[in-house]
A and B are shown apart, each in its own frame.
Chain A
């Protein structure tokens, strides 16, 4: 089937079988490789993108369900929360291998958009589905607090 995708502010027409996860259309058809494949079963968060501003797992979002929605990937994320999160991530050198970090950042931006001043508990709850095999969690938590401060400033 042919789908009109609204992604990163552009409309793209893609050919894909029904049931194709958005993840693989983004990566293999549209060549937006910042969004990562980690598990394919919604249990790691590496594939997180925004759908109408809300973080979703693109590996479990099917292509036929996204028509009409606005998709944003790490390559085009912008706004106050995104700028604060990316700056905080760099300031604290959160990344190790970096493979999970696109997803972590997309999720963290979602958190700060909903809850601009999160507690540790808010962070642990909202970020629970984003796995980091390098275990950068402590810095993720700290960077979200730093980003929250940046947003206030």
Chain B
């Protein structure tokens, strides 16, 4: 995906009018009534009292968009940061599309990248009409008006935005608003600009979807098939009759389960425990993880597709024949759940004209038609109210809008009159599918007498993420699901005779993108193998990598070298270490961002402790440096927790992990420190939500290999021989 910084089209969809329901937040981020201010353009509103409200087309799952998008508008308008209010946009592809996707949605680490020019232009256009209105009212030239902290000034005249908003809203904004020069930025690049959502998230007032409460609302949980693809044949709810607060239990229309309704979440959960159901498993997944693993490994013997342009299996096989030595290994990475902290949930209520969906909505462009289709409505009859999302990591952006469709079915089964909130428990979440696919890899790397790679035969087997989804046409080519091989088939490393073969594993169990998608497994394998090759060649892991990135005409090479060199310097790479310690490095490009990480571990009686993580990132212009650091810290932690000890396994098709004790999250004591450094850049900004993830796992594996001599090729680590302190 290329970064577009086109100046055209910040109003891509025009200025369609219409009464939009918006959820507004005060400058401190708490829930407030919708603003009645003048809409200067779809992204900028100004109240009569001068309050500037930035309308956010991307939702907030913790990645910082409430801060990032707001920064872009506030910068161009020279706003008073602390006084700027925010609100989430309604569902409207015509105004609020992700410019990289064409529909409204957040994902692929694109929020800032696709909005950078658009939100600045929106701010600059609003500034232009406000200045024009003030010039007219004051009878001065526009060039005599300056802006500072939300105040317009000319001579002894001053006024806030609100005094000119009504007149400005009637004016035609310039087609090409003048943007600030980077040298004039006050907010973009400010390392200590406070987050917009900090206050509300530290006093309990931030509203998440699970906090939505409507008059006459019923709470619901769904009794689902214990095996993926099972169909309900019958159920018995008689034992639930005695549960206080139990309302009803009804089969949902698609046969996927029984909706259990209560006057509280607890009543619904307790009633569900008392209900028994029978299922038809004839089309269900009934295999167990050891068999599934063996099937993946077997698929590596004969890859179905060639996935790397430029070299075939025949080429790499030939190149390997003359090699002085061959490094070879199989890798196996497990199914993983996203387990966002806020369990999935969705509330639906009837409106005069259709329904209103309350959700931390990641992909309105899909949720709208999927909910409409489920209820026999037109998408225009589905309103979406977006609120804060308690994490996602990919789970809330679902190719089939699974939990919204469920909520619609549960709302439908009760008669479509009362508002219904469907809540998933943590057990529902971990057993609910849409996992990061299991991935098996096999590699043979030839090394010559000088310690250089001569050829690389790489193979991947995984369940495809995009095949059969609305994204297939864009991401699947010649049978190759790019989501299975991204990060390895397109690695910028300069490696001769490098082939990548791919085979698909299939199952009725749904899989999904998981923070960094294919990179979550390809980077682990690639960067582990590079270290194994460096060791075999007797070369330093960073020097070895730099030697594969030596092309000065290649922008990827330059930027990967930049983060490698910075991380080497900041981590003290090459310096002496106490007995029992080891360092590991990994570098990876994903979502057009370049990240290198060095991890230092200690060992004590065989138990490994992660002492220090050093991270260097190049994501172009750093709009909010502290948010970028936070995303790197979070990405590193998310990756390491899973690599250390998480997996989803099945026995006869039933998921073995019930709740967090079986899917133990990263804890505060697991990582000593994380130190993040930004490469200064004037390139267009790229994403940061995902790119911190891919290098962390292999950097840890490489550090463990350096400290102990043990090479991890099967995850999670602690199920496969590594003990953590």
Binding site for B on A (CB under 8 A): 16-17, 20-21, 24, 27-29, 31-41, 43-44, 46, 73-75, 86, 89-90, 93-102, 105, 123-125, 127-128, 130-141
Min Cβ gap B659→A in Å is: 5
CA distance A40 to B244 in the complex (A): 19
Q: Which residue of chain A has the shortest Cβ distance to B199 in the bound complex?
A: A90
Can you identify 27 A-B contacts, CB atoms within 8 angstroms?
A17-B270, A29-B264, A33-B207, A33-B208, A33-B211, A36-B342, A37-B210, A37-B265, A38-B341, A39-B426, A40-B659, A41-B660, A74-B203, A96-B63, A97-B62, A97-B391, A97-B392, A98-B62, A98-B201, A99-B390, A125-B669, A131-B666, A135-B634, A135-B641, A137-B637, A137-B666, A138-B674
CA distance A34 to B425 in the complex (A): 18
CA distance A76 to B628 in the complex (A): 32
Indicate if the CB atoms of A38 and B668 lie closer than 8 Å: no
| B303 interface contact, C-beta 8 A | no
Indicate if the CB atoms of A37 and B389 lie closer than 8 Å: no
Indicate if the CB atoms of B339 and A133 lie closer than 8 Å: yes
Q: Which one of B190-198, B228-236, B316-324, B709-717 is at the interface?
A: B190-198
Indicate if the CB atoms of B265 and A24 lie closer than 8 Å: yes
The 4 closest A-B pairs by CB, nearest first: A34-B204, A135-B637, A99-B390, A98-B201
CA distance A96 to B266 in the complex (A): 28
CA distance A101 to B197 in the complex (A): 12
Q: Which residue of chain A has the shortest Cβ distance to B264 in the bound complex?
A: A28
What residues on B are CB-neighbors of A73 within 8 Å?
204
CA distance A87 to B84 in the complex (A): 20
Contact of B264 among A24, A74, A89, A140 (CB under 8 A): A24
Indicate if the CB atoms of B634 and A46 lie closer than 8 Å: no
CA distance A97 to B661 in the complex (A): 22
Q: Which residue of chain B has the shortest Cβ distance to A121 in the bound complex?
A: B669
What residues on A are CB-neighbors of B204 within 8 Å?
32-35, 73-75, 102
Min Cβ gap B105→A in Å is: 18
Indicate if the CB atoms of B659 and A41 lie closer than 8 Å: yes
Indicate if the CB atoms of A97 and B266 lie closer than 8 Å: no
CA distance A102 to B206 in the complex (A): 10
CA distance A133 to B339 in the complex (A): 8
Contact of A99 among B341, B633, B661, B668 (CB under 8 A): B341
Contacting A at CB under 8 A, from B261-315, are: 264-266, 269-270
Supplied contacts A97-B341, A134-B637, 4 more A-B pairs, CB within 8 Å: A17-B243, A73-B204, A90-B198, A123-B668
Indicate if the CB atoms of B208 and A95 lie closer than 8 Å: no
| B432 interface contact, C-beta 8 A | no
Query: Interface residue tally of chain B, by bracket?
Result: 35 or more
Q: Which residue of chain A has the shortest Cβ distance to B192 in the bound complex?
A: A93
Min Cβ gap B101→A in Å is: 22
What residues on A are CB-neighbors of B211 within 8 Å?
27, 33
Known: A33-B211, A41-B659, A100-B341. A131 touches B665 (CB 8 A): yes
Among B243, B340, B390, B641, residue most surrounded by chain A Cβ atoms (within 10 Å): B390
Indicate if the CB atoms of A98 and B266 lie closer than 8 Å: no
CA distance A138 to B630 in the complex (A): 10
| B513 interface contact, C-beta 8 A | no
Contacting A at CB under 8 A, from B648-702, are: 659-661, 665-671, 673-674
| B180 interface contact, C-beta 8 A | no
Indicate if the CB atoms of A97 and B633 lie closer than 8 Å: no
Indicate if the CB atoms of B391 and A99 lie closer than 8 Å: yes
| B88 interface contact, C-beta 8 A | no
Indicate if the CB atoms of B203 and A96 lie closer than 8 Å: no
Indicate if the CB atoms of A128 and B633 lie closer than 8 Å: no
Q: Which residue of chain B has the shortest Cβ distance to A20 in the bound complex?
A: B266
| B69 interface contact, C-beta 8 A | no
| B6 interface contact, C-beta 8 A | no
Contact of A134 among B388, B391, B668 (CB under 8 A): B391
| B205 interface contact, C-beta 8 A | yes
What residues on B are CB-neighbors of A141 within 8 Å?
668
Q: Which residue of chain A has the shortest Cβ distance to B393 in the bound complex?
A: A133
Q: Which residue of chain B has the shortest Cβ distance to A98 in the bound complex?
A: B201
CA distance A130 to B668 in the complex (A): 8
Contact of A97 among B61, B202, B270 (CB under 8 A): B61
| B25 interface contact, C-beta 8 A | no
Among A94, A99, A125, A127, residue most surrounded by chain B Cβ atoms (within 10 Å): A99
Min Cβ gap A126→B in Å is: 9
Q: Which residue of chain B has the shortest Cβ distance to A73 in the bound complex?
A: B204
Indicate if the CB atoms of A21 and B266 lie closer than 8 Å: yes
Known: A133-B665, A138-B671. A93 touches B265 (CB 8 A): no
Contact of A124 among B265, B388, B660, B669 (CB under 8 A): B669
Indicate if the CB atoms of A31 and B213 lie closer than 8 Å: yes
Indicate if the CB atoms of A34 and B659 lie closer than 8 Å: no
CA distance A141 to B674 in the complex (A): 12
Min Cβ gap A19→B in Å is: 8
